[in-house]
Amino acid sequence: MSKQNSTKAEQLLDEGDLGTLRRVQRALALSSQLSLALFFHAGQDAVVETHPEDKLQPLFFAQASDAASWQNLPVPSVPEENGFHKIEASCGLTFLLYPFGKEDKDQGWVVAGPVSERPLHAEEKAGLADIFQVDVADIEEAITHHPSPVPLDLGYISEILETLADLAVHLCAERRQRARDLMVLRSLYEVGSALGTSLRLEDVLKKVMDEAISLLSAENGSLMLVDEVRSELKMLVAQGLDEQIVTTTRVNLGEGISGWVAKEGQPRLLSRGVREIESSKTDSEALDSAMCVPLKSKDRCIGVLNLSGRKDGADFTEEDLKILSILASHAASAIDIAQLYQKVTSQVSHLEALYQLGRILNSSLSLDEILPTALTQTLDLLEAKTASVMLLDEKGEELRIRLAHGLSPEIVESTTVKLGERVSGRVAATGEPVLIKGQEGDDMDSSLCVPLLANQQVLGVLNIRTKTDGSDFTHQDLELAGQLANIAAAAIENASLHDELQALFLSTVSAMANSIDARDPYTKGHSERVTSYAVMIAEELKLSADELERLRYAGLLHDIGKIRIRDHILHKPGRLTDAEFREMKKHPEYGVEIMQPVKAFHTILPAMLHHHERYDGRGYPHGLAGEAIPLSARILCVADCFDAMTSDRPYRKGMPVADAVSELAKNKSTQFDPLLVDIFLNLVDRGKVEPVLAAYKNGGTDNVARQSVAESKAINH
């Protein structure tokens, strides 16, 4: 057989099967003295075996090398009673064809002949010689050696043809089965490889789905996993289904075919058009053949694998169901491991996030920084849309929203909850967290509420609501929310303690400042006013919170060095002598000496030391100029001088604001930093300065007395 003519046979049969078929074919040809050939569906693809002495059949096959001549054989529609077809050939010869195969599967013919049922006369021999373009002598030799028995025993021939046809069909079927078995093994190997090469759940699920569709030639398929929290199946991957169906399909355990399979752990096989009571399809929907098998790992059903609609339109078989069940068994193990890996990596990710959150929160002692960070991390880790932090008031009787995401300002402002009332109030009262599933709460969304506990004391609650994917929060989510709340609560408590210490610290500093002013009643409130003006300027410069805090302390303590100035100099009503003035100018240095032992105040010492420096370099104590003077000191200089000019003195009333502003403008770039003067004048124009000055005027009008002339001269020198 030529290489060209072997193509189809070698596709259907491997080398061993093809050899078997040829040996049987040769044995039958020798025993029956018949010329035998086997043609598969495409006419040019043939297994041809002739009798060793046959010289006639090769003449016909050589003439019929064109594929169309064999593919379009004029086969009668009604076979002979023995099951084969007779085809009259040229000049008294006949071919006998026995068809095999069905529905275009391994279809072909076993061909016997040409045979003659009677001796050929001279005209027929001459006709054959003309057809084959050979001498009549060649035709006579071929007929003489042609082994066909005469007369023909058609019953015996029918048995031979049927035997050869059955063998061809059997060998082809075995080849298909072996190929299918190999496909099953390959698919199982591919699923195993997916587990070995990737532990991502999405990759494993897609691989399982692809292999099931390919292996069983299905039109559609889906893979659903069990959601143990909601006792339902959720579709995660599919082929041949609309995307909306994939994202929205939920099936309760026990309902529908898939729900029944998941609950009972047993596979189901449905033929085309068969409707079962568990089916969720309506009567108007056409039903394809379908299979649904459970995905079981360690006797626990973790999901189901569904296939529907064979591509050839036939029903799925019990054998198909068995193959899918084997695939599902291997797939379940891969999926179970992938889920476990996903859970572990998620926990590691959560631990890392919790560690980072704790580190960030512990790096700040400001509630305004802690709460936004805690809320953002909560939303990200729990994949939620809405969250809020509610803190108890000072009496511990009522919760108020301190910060929220996803809530309107009106709700944040107006919401208050009494201790013990509603979910948040009960959580705050009991210290026990609450998980609410969808459709259980008032707003139909799943939510969490966990207490903010620090040292066994409830500070407030953390509320989380609405998962971004619409699912319910889980007990794992509740546990994670509790861990977030514990870290946030510790940071909140530290911030609160810090705020209390800061308040105590500021009160102490204010008391120190007041002790300075107490030496002379006419300077009362000077340090507070200077501090207020200085902070206003600094806020316009967008200085940081830490810089503002340092400036506030420097403002309150900038004149503390005057404690060391003797009363006869500090309160002298007349002009100071040069020696007395030199002593007065030492009060910034005295202040630094006083505060030097306090480590927390080291950062404010430059502002205290240089607040009497001038921008042109003619100030004291070091004669610094321009930007060589610390910014905080330049700010205090403007604030200090404005308050000195607008405060009442024993020998005069304080300047009107307009006159003081004029003096500041006139001394820009000489005594004062021009930028800071412009900023302060803008504050005056915007009405920011007047309330501070008005509070002083209203509070001090009945208490005006003699002010130290020496102090006045020192400030304006």
- Which helix (H) or strand (E) segment holds residue 459: the answer is strand 457-467
Residues contacting 564, CB < 8 A, separation 6+: 586, 587, 590, 594
pLDDT tens per residue across span 543-579: 998 899 899 989 988 888 888 888 778 777 778 889 9
- Report yes or no: 454 and 492 within 8 Å, Cβ to Cβ: yes
To which CATH superfamily is domain 364-491 assigned? Answer: GAF domain (3.30.450.40)
Asked if pLDDT for residue 540 goes beyond 50, the answer is: yes
pLDDT of the residue at 138:
79
Specify the pLDDT at position 41. Answer: 56
Q: Say if 364-491 and 519-715 have the same CATH topology.
A: no
Helix axes 690-700, 526-540, angle to 10 degrees: 170
pLDDT at 715: 34
Alpha-carbon span 204 to 215, nearest angstrom: 16
β partners of residue 416: 400
Q: Identify the weakest region by mean pLDDT among 255-264, 318-327, 489-498.
A: 489-498
pLDDT surpasses 80 at 452: yes
Residue 148 has pLDDT above 80, yes or no: no
Residue 284 has what pLDDT? 46
pLDDT band at residue 707 using 50, 70 and 90 as cut-offs: very low
Nearest-angstrom CA–CA distance, 45 and 26: 18
pLDDT at residue 511, as a whole number = 72
Q: Per mean pLDDT, which range of 19-28, 92-101, 192-201 is the poorest?
A: 192-201
Which amino acid is residue 471, in one-letter code? S
pLDDT band at 505 (very low <50, low <70, confident <90, very high): low
- Nearest of 509, 413, 420 to residue 458 by alpha carbon: 420
Q: How far is CA 579 from the centre of its chain?
A: 77
Q: Which residue has the tokens 């500041």?
A: 664
From CA 310, how far away is CA 217, in angstroms rounded?
6
Tell me the pLDDT tens digit for each residue of 645-678: 988 766 567 889 999 999 999 999 999 999 999 9
Residue 639 in this model has a pLDDT that exceeds 90 = yes
- The chain-wide mean pLDDT, for the chain, equals 77
At 689, is the pLDDT very low, low, confident or very high (cuts 50, 70, 90)?
A: very high
State the Cα torsion 603-604-606-609 to the nearest 10°: -150
Whether the pLDDT of residue 518 is over 70: the answer is no
Which is higher by pLDDT, 484 or 621?
A: 621
What does the pLDDT average to over 254-275?
Answer: 86
CA distance 155 to 148: 15
Partner residues linked to 207 by β-bridges = none
Residue in the block written with tokens 């591919």? 190
- The answer to whether the bond into 630 is cis (omega within 30° of 0) is no
Tokens coding 451? 């207490």
- Considering the domain 519-715 in this protein, what is its CATH number? 1.10.3210.10
What does pTM read for this prediction? 0.43
Which tokens is 28 given?
A: 């039958």
Phi, psi of 227 (to 5 degrees): -95, 100
CA distance linking residue 526 with residue 513, whole number of Å:
9
Give me the CATH code for the 198-279+286-343 domain, please: 3.30.450.40
Highest mean pLDDT among 165-174, 194-203, 252-261, 562-571 belongs to 252-261
Q: What are the extents of the domains in the chain?
A: 4-177, 198-279+286-343, 364-491, 519-715
- β-partners of residue 327 are none
